[in-house]
Structure 1
């Protein structure tokens, strides 16, 4: 049993758990709260796109046997109870090896199996154009290939649950339909597709946009363009990076207003997230600088971002601190909404019958301080 303040209602409650499930939420009186007050309680965070954390890189080969287990355990301190490790554009054999490493870690470590809700394959079926391609290696970009994808899916043990695709390639609609029919969520991203190609992709089953507004050309036609088109597609959920660096507040505000409950938060964090400020050498961006404010940019050009170094908590803090949305909505954007998009059991939120994946935290000014994290009703993290 946990006593806490419900993050959305503000009411003090007792949360009862049994065998990994929340069995009851019951109100408690003010006299039971105590002098120290109670922490807030909310559903665990679900990160649909994360490339690494605390120096642990999900795209470096060979992948150490303990890397994913170490990462999942470290992510508990950030309130993340489920994630989708993201494998990015690479050579066919390298992708297969990374997927097989993740599958092996899931088979060997129950913590990894429970913490990984699926794998996000971001590429290589993306735009070859500069700007839209982002930092993905041009030499590995290729047209969608169902037979190749099936081989990768087999190597992953069926764990690829999201694939980022640009529908600009001929035959994309057929590939998207096959993915959708096999239970894989197709997300449009790193694209230079026309409005007609995006519409065709949505009709074929595409249901998300990968970090909308990023992985895009610096200059676009006023209208139509692929950002407006994805915003206008009612069947697409929009994933955004709200770290204060990737998107200006005006864009975040528009996405929130247009998409409503289909606006989702992702971290898209790289392995340097959680590390001290400084200059680092990476195998993708070369020499990069992580500033004390948490901005990651190329050492040779501070105007070019080298990925995200902020976690979902930072996105929640930014949205609420800038007055773009209420706290409970921002938290839902990083927990209940991504769970809903992926049909996870935690989509029901903080109520009886939900998985007991919980985060207890306090607000210290505008910052979120995680005190405890629970996975399947077991306390897996306690603030030192």
Structure 2
């Protein structure tokens, strides 16, 4: 199957979108590999770093979108993940804690300026967006705002939904291994699944397939999105790789671990492999695959 749309790709096939050494040729090569793997479009994802560094990385890819037709065709925009996320261990995930900051309109505007109209999605923690000002600002600029890397309360989540929050990024990832048995971020977000699109990493590691099945069964199919959260190692197999200056280890089961080996750092599984997992282990139908991996994410692209 082809025509996949992936809203979260940090890198692919040996290329890291957050590397200071990224070249135009690297991005063109990624586009060719994505096409070969049946991926129609992606959002290149820039993750938390000092915001001036993030702006430089955003501007570089935005320029290639503007000037290189094959890049523009495969990468219609950017997903900014951070730096407005929770600084709490576990919720911050593999993002560098020292670069996390509260959400401000000023920094958000710098990202938009750097992106030259190509920033399509930004993930933030609602509890880090005072009075939902940044969520409202970005939504008014036509940017899809998603929650993520967050321990938001129901009240904070609702406040941001009312201000324009439309999605939650890779639910079940970007949270600690030990949480309250009932009142936790997964349950809070699922309770709002009629109002939010929710993305999941369906590699069998970030969310065990039996848990993913439960989550998918309790929410509207039209609000489900499968993302790869792919990193440099995606499509390359086991080994040691770089992700935004960090070392990532991919084991024999294709789980991508941070150097400390306590949490995952992105994903090394491709969307075609995720489709296989969804079909073989969750009995996903052709209609569900079409919705979750193509039409639902495509609705968010402008």
Q: TM-score range by the shorter chain?
A: over 0.9
Distance 1:170 1:106 in 2: 29
Give 1:298 shift: 4.0
Equivalent position to 1:200, from 152, 159, 170:
159
Equivalent position to 1:248, from 175, 196, 208:
208
Instruction: Name segments (4+ residues, structure 1) moved above 6 Å.
Output: none
Equivalent position to 2:189, from 208, 230, 234:
230
Equivalent position to 2:217, from 245, 257, 271:
257
Distance 1:299 1:178 in 2: 36
Larger Rg: 1
User: 1:103 aligns to what?
Assistant: 62
TM-score by structure 1 length? 0.74
User: 2:40 aligns to what?
Assistant: 81
Matched residue of 1:339: which SS?
helix
Give 1:315 shift: 1.3
Distance 1:101 1:330 in 2: 33
- Write out per-residue CA displacement over residues 228-265 of structure 1, whole angstroms, 9 at most, x where no aligned residue: 11111111111000011110123211221122221110
Give 1:137 shift: 0.6
Distance 1:300 1:43 in 2: 36
- Write out per-residue CA displacement over residues 168-214 of structure 1, whole angstroms, 9 at most, x where no aligned residue: 12525111011111101010000011111111111111011100010
RMSD: 1.7
The answer (yes or no) to whether the contact 1:85–1:116 under 8 Å persists in 2 is yes
Query: Which piece of structure 1 moves more, 120-129 or 307-316?
Result: 307-316
The answer (yes or no) to whether the contact 1:253–1:324 under 8 Å persists in 2 is no
- Please identify which structure carries the higher helix content: 2
- Write out per-residue CA displacement over residues 47-70 of structure 1, whole angstroms, 9 at most, x where no aligned residue: 000001111100011431222222
User: 1:267 aligns to what?
Assistant: 228
Matched residue of 1:119: which SS?
strand
Task: Say whether 1:91 aligns with 2:55.
Answer: no
The answer (yes or no) to whether the contact 1:46–1:334 under 8 Å persists in 2 is yes
- Write out per-residue CA displacement over residues 55-99 of structure 1, whole angstroms, 9 at most, x where no aligned residue: 110001143122222211110111111110000001111111101
TM-score by structure 2 length? 0.94
Q: What is the number of residues matched between the two proteins?
A: 300
The answer (yes or no) to whether the contact 2:16–2:244 under 8 Å persists in 1 is no
- Write out per-residue CA displacement over residues 133-179 of structure 1, whole angstroms, 9 at most, x where no aligned residue: 00101111001111221122111111111000101125251110111
- Write out per-residue CA displacement over residues 315-345 of structure 1, whole angstroms, 9 at most, x where no aligned residue: 11111111342234124311111112x155x
Matched residue of 2:126: which SS?
coil
Distance 2:258 2:173 in 1: 16
**Structure 2 CA distance for partners of 1:135 and 1:207, relative to 1, 3 Å:** same
Task: Say whether 1:279 aligns with 2:275.
Answer: no
Distance 1:45 1:116 in 2: 12
User: 2:7 aligns to what?
Assistant: 48
Matched residue of 2:249: which SS?
strand
Matching of residues 314-353 of structure 1 within 5 Å: 314-340=273-299, 342-343=300-301
User: 1:115 aligns to what?
Assistant: 74
Distance 1:256 1:133 in 2: 24
Distance 1:280 1:117 in 2: 26
Matched residue of 2:282: which SS?
coil
Distance 2:101 2:259 in 1: 29
- Please identify which structure carries the higher strand content: 1
The answer (yes or no) to whether the contact 1:87–1:120 under 8 Å persists in 2 is yes
Equivalent position to 1:307, from 251, 258, 266:
266
